[in-house]
């Protein structure tokens, strides 16, 4: 089935550094979304990028989408300890409402 | 406050004892969905509902039932729970219509242990 796959599975950086996570998917999409999950809690929506968009910003977040490569990246600039969480990409299929989630990237920000 | 609520948050039960996990949203969303999250497997969709009285199977529906009698509620029913249903469960909701999936709002999760 269509699935977003995040890379790397785990990432550990120092506070203040930038964090980049990647997502690849298999089939054509309407949009791609990124979510954050703090340990054991519900997912929180971060950003949605449509298939006709190439880049989107929200605060310290920057998302890119390359539909020719079926990939997306999430950049968190000037990381903070509070950014420690798991990050998931989620894709839909053209014409569908269903979201399919990847397995996530576990991000740790060291003080 | 816009939110998705789930109850109970934690549940320990025994094999075969029927249980229901409730989910309610106050955002007038048409679309509601149940996921389970297991280590190494990510989030997998169990069932979803496009609107009242419209439900459909997700990727892992075996052993689960749902109903959507009211727009705001989408309970998950385990008729005869088994240990392999031990998991962290999330309910989510969103608007629907138009092209593509909308932003989903997630509940806080229900941690279920079946012994």
pLDDT at B19: 97
Question: What average pLDDT does this structure show over B21-45?
Answer: 94
Q: How far is B98 from chain A (nearest CA, A)?
A: 9
Q: How far is B31 from chain A (nearest CA, A)?
A: 8
CB distance B101–A45 less than 8 Å? Answer: no
What b/e string do you get for A66-90 counting C-beta neighbours within 10 Å, with b at 16 or more? Answer: eeeebbbbbebeebeeebbbbbbbb
pLDDT band per the 50, 70, 90 thresholds, residue B2 = confident
pLDDT above 60 (res B110):
yes
- A47's enclosing H/E stretch is strand A44-50
pLDDT band per the 50, 70, 90 thresholds, residue A96 = low
């Amino acid at each position: 089935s269509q699935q977003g796959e995040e890379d790397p599975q785990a990432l550990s950086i120092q506070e203040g550094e930038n964090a980049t996570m990647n997502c690849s998917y298999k089939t054509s999409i309407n949009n791609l979304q990124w979510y954050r999950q703090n340990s054991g809690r519900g997912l929180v929506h971060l950003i949605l990028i449509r298939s006709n968009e190439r880049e989107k910003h929200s605060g310290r977040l920057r998302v890119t989408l390359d539909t020719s490569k079926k990939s997306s990246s999430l950049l968190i600039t000037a990381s903070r300890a509070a950014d420690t969480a798991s990050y998931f990409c989620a894709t839909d299929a053209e014409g569908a409402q269903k979201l399919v989630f990847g397995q996530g990237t576990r991000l740790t920000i060291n003080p | 406050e816009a939110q998705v609520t789930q109850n109970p948050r934690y549940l320990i039960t025994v094999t075969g004892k029927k249980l229901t996990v409730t989910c309610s949203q106050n955002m007038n969303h048409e679309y509601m969905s149940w996921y389970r999250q297991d280590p190494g497997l990510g989030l997998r969709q169990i069932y979803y509902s496009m609107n009242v009285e419209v439900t459909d199977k997700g990727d892992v529906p075996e052993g689960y039932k749902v109903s959507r009698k009211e727009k705001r509620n989408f309970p998950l029913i385990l008729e005869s729970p088994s240990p392999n249903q031990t998991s962290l469960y999330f309910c989510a909701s969103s608007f629907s219509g138009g092209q593509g999936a909308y932003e989903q709002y997630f509940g806080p999760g229900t941690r279920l242990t079946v012994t």
